[in-house]
Homo-oligomer: A and B are copies of this chain.
Amino acid sequence: MSDNIVYIGKKPVMAYVMAVITAFRDNPKQVVIRARGRSISIAVDVAEVTKNNYLSNITDTVTIGTEILESDGGTRNVSTIQITLNKSHEA
């Protein structure tokens, strides 16, 4: 049983769409997409492409937040997004 969290980085959108589809194979009910900073817009693309083109009966719940990162002896804030994809029972 693989992890049901897909972390978004700098790869092309389709790489993460494939990761989400694979994660749903092991976790049929729920997969979570997480990103921070400039990768947030990629995370939304991944969720939308997955829902619109590859999987049916998916609903999403989106939450945003802020993480504090240590950098160069100081700290800086970075925005985060978590998109939870839930697959509802198919009719």
Residues in A lying within 8 Å of B, measured CB to CB:
37-41, 44-45, 47-49, 52, 60, 62-66, 77, 79-81, 83
Instruction: Check if B40 sits within 8 Å of A52, measured CB to CB.
Output: no
Tell whether A64 pairs with B41 under 8 Å between CB atoms, given A48-B77, A52-B77: no
Known A45-B79, A79-B45, A81-B44: A66·B52 in contact at CB below 8 Å: yes
> Taking the nearest CB of chain B, how far is it from the CB of A78, in angstroms?
9
Taken together as a complex, chains A and B put the C-alpha atoms of A66 and B48 apart, in Å, by 7
Contact: A64 with B40, CB < 8 Å?
no
Known: A62-B62, A64-B60, A66-B48. A41 touches B79 (CB 8 A): yes
